[in-house]
Structure 1
Amino acid sequence: MDWGKGILLTIFGFVAFIMTLVVISVRQDDIHLVTENYYEKEIKYQEQIEREKSAVGLDREVVMFDASSKTIYLDLPVGAKGSLQLFRPSDARLDQELPLDITTEGKTAIPVEKLKSGYWRVQLTWTENGLEYYEEKKITI
């Protein structure tokens, strides 16, 4: 075999390899964006920063996770309203959003033992005394 045939076989092999990668990537159907409305959330990011600063200014930890009982505890006052989003970065189909309306004193317990085990982000957005707050906690179930 001479140099010309070797170079030609190398080029054909490379093209076949690249075409195989293209076919594999096109056939993937399990691709999820982190969030559906990513660009809208990016535009409103300054508001999110203000909510986070407000939450840091509180003198208590609002979101707590007990791994042994697989329970999330929320320390919110009576009258607080908001939403708790259980966000699974690896699979958007497992995400859940729970509305919150606190009507009783004490910590609110939310059991999460039915969630698929793995890495989760707990994102709490709430309104308390007319101010908006946001806190996020990373947990592993």
Structure 2
Amino acid sequence: MDWGKGILLTIIAFVGFILTLVVISVRQDDIHLVTENYYEKEIKYQEHINRETSAAGLDREVLVYDSETKSVILDLPVGAKGSLQLFRPSDARLDQDLLLEILKEGKTTVPLEKLKSGYWKVQLTWTENGVDFYQEKKITI
């Protein structure tokens, strides 16, 4: 075999390899954005910072994960309203959003044993006495 045929075969192999990578990347269907409306969330980010600052100023731990019972324990007062978002970074199809309204005294337990095992972000947003709060925990089930 001479130099011309070797160079031609190398170019053909390279083009075939690149085309294979293009086909694989086009067929991939499990690519998810972190959030669908990221631009709107970016504009409201200062409100988010204010909620986190308010939650940091509380004298109690509001969001606690119990790994033995696979549940989240919320320490919210009666009348607090908010939402608990269970965010799976690796697969947005598994995300869940639970609305909360605390009607009785004491800690509230939210079971998580039905969730797929792996890494989760638990994001709690609530309003207490007219003040907005936000707290987040990173857990592994």
Assess same fold via TM > 0.5.
yes
Rounded to whole Å, the distance in 1 between the matches of 2:119 and 2:7 is 48
Partner in structure 2 of residue 5 of structure 1 = 5
Rounded to whole Å, the distance in 2 between the matches of 1:18 and 1:72 is 47
Q: How much has 1:79 moved relative to structure 2? A: 0.9
Return 5+ residue gaps in structure 2 as ranges: none
Matched, 1:48 2:48: yes
Partner in structure 1 of residue 15 of structure 2 = 15
Letter paired with 1:58: L
Q: State the identity as a percent.
A: 79
Rounded to whole Å, the distance in 1 between the matches of 2:33 and 2:116 is 19
Question: What is the TM-score with the length of structure 1 in the denominator?
Answer: 0.96
Rounded to whole Å, the distance in 2 between the matches of 1:40 and 1:11 is 46
Rounded to whole Å, the distance in 1 between the matches of 2:43 and 2:28 is 30
Q: How much has 1:40 moved relative to structure 2? A: 1.4
RMSD across aligned C-alpha pairs, in angstroms? 1.0
- What's the secondary structure of 2:40's corresponding residue? helix
Matched residue count = 141
Letter paired with 2:114: K
What is the correspondence of 1:122-133 to structure 2 with a 5 Å cutoff? 122-133=122-133
Partner in structure 2 of residue 103 of structure 1 = 103
Question: What is the TM-score with the length of structure 2 in the denominator?
Answer: 0.96
- What's the secondary structure of 2:19's corresponding residue? helix
Q: How much has 1:4 moved relative to structure 2? A: 2.1
Q: How much has 1:54 moved relative to structure 2? A: 0.8
Rounded to whole Å, the distance in 2 between the matches of 1:81 and 1:10 is 65
Partner in structure 2 of residue 89 of structure 1 = 89
Rounded to whole Å, the distance in 1 between the matches of 2:132 and 2:37 is 21
What is the correspondence of 1:23-42 to structure 2 with a 5 Å cutoff? 23-42=23-42
- What's the secondary structure of 1:82's corresponding residue? strand
Partner in structure 1 of residue 136 of structure 2 = 136
Q: How much has 1:2 moved relative to structure 2? A: 2.1
Q: For residues 45-87 of structure 1, what are the alpha-carbon distances to aligned partners after superposition, in whole Å with 9 as ceiling and x for unaligned?
A: 1111111111111111110011101110001111111000011
Return 5+ residue gaps in structure 1 as ranges: none
